[in-house]
Amino acid sequence: MEYMFRRKDQRKVWVHVLDVLLNVVIIVAIVGGIRTFLVSPFQVEGNSMVSTLEDNQYIIINKLAYRIGSPERGDIVVFHPPGDEKKYYVKRVIGLSGDRVTLRGGYVHVQAAGIDSEVRLDEVAYLDERNLGHTYRHPPGSGDFSEVDFHVPEGKYFLLGDNRQGSLDSRSFMSADGEHVPFVDEDAISGRVWFVALPITKIHAFEVPEYGL
């Protein structure tokens, strides 16, 4: 009888262990699925989005947004820069497919696809005093106000950092061969920045700016 009880106890232990392992596998699968298809954490590195995002802040990106839709002008996005699938950058979408983006006099002008006239973007909501009116051509801190045009191809986007004088973005992206590659493929964009998660004192969500385009 004692032997039978011992076998029953051992069986219960193994059932419990297998139950725990099964739950761990399910939890890992659920978390992995959420991170892959829905939302994912991301740590900001550098100051290219100051003062909207700061170095070492943790943000949550919404991946589902671009599985059921496309990036909109004003979205803050996490993406792979042209020619580098290992790095992640975070910038703001400025030009959509078919747009003509013009940097002129320190400001960004956009002629939206299918529209005959251009509009100077109102970026007061997210550019600080140091950067408002100081969007220079490459290199970003050059002080070069001269005009430059970018015609955004189909399926691509023109992105700028909010720290216009200290951001590596569509003005200066280069290929491995040293060729200027100003546009980012839609497939290279991982998701839209949803909100700041840490530090707790900085928690807030982001809304898409209204440009009137």
> 68-72 contacts: CB < 8 A, separation 24 or more?
70/186, 71/96, 71/157, 71/186, 71/189, 71/192, 72/96, 72/208
Question: How many angstroms from the chain centroid is the CA of residue 36?
Answer: 15
On whether both 100 and 146 belong to a single domain, the answer is: yes
Phi, psi of 102 (to 5 degrees): -120, 130
Q: Cβ of 77: how many Cβ atoms within 10 Å?
A: 24
- Token representation of residue 43: 């740590």
Buried b vs exposed e over 138-150: b needs ≥16 C-beta within 10 Å? bebeeeeeeeeeb
213 in any annotated domain? no
- C-alpha span between 43 and 53 (Å, rounded): 10
DSSP string, 79-109: EPPTT-SS--EEEEEEE-TT-EEEEETTEEE
The amino acid present at 176, given as its one-letter code, is A
Q: What is the CATH number of the domain that holds 96?
A: 2.10.109.10
- pLDDT at site 175: 85
96 in any annotated domain? yes
On whether both 30 and 50 belong to a single domain, the answer is: no
- pLDDT at site 28: 39
The per-residue pLDDT for range 122-166, each reduced to its tens digit, is 999 999 999 999 999 998 888 898 999 999 999 999 999 999 999
- pLDDT at site 167: 96
- pLDDT at site 39: 59
- pLDDT at site 141: 84
On whether both 69 and 10 belong to a single domain, the answer is: no
On whether both 129 and 156 belong to a single domain, the answer is: yes
On whether both 52 and 26 belong to a single domain, the answer is: no
55 in any annotated domain? yes
- C-alpha span between 170 and 185 (Å, rounded): 12
Number of domains making up the chain: 2
- Owner of token pair 């659920």: 30
On whether both 107 and 158 belong to a single domain, the answer is: yes
Catalytic residue among 48, 63, 167, 170: 48
- pLDDT at site 12: 58
Cα Rg, the chain, nearest whole Å: 23
Question: Does residue 87 carry a catalytic annotation?
Answer: no
Catalytic residue among 63, 91, 156, 167: 91
On whether both 64 and 20 belong to a single domain, the answer is: no
- Token representation of residue 77: 């996005």
Give the structural domain span for 171. 42-200
> 172-176 contacts: CB < 8 A, separation 24 or more?
172/138, 172/139, 172/140, 173/81, 173/82, 173/83, 174/82, 174/83, 175/82, 175/83, 176/83
On whether both 69 and 153 belong to a single domain, the answer is: yes
On whether both 19 and 65 belong to a single domain, the answer is: no
On whether both 121 and 194 belong to a single domain, the answer is: yes
On whether both 182 and 86 belong to a single domain, the answer is: yes
Question: Does residue 48 carry a catalytic annotation?
Answer: yes
pLDDT-flagged residues of the chain (< 70):
1-39
- pLDDT at site 142: 85
On whether both 146 and 181 belong to a single domain, the answer is: yes
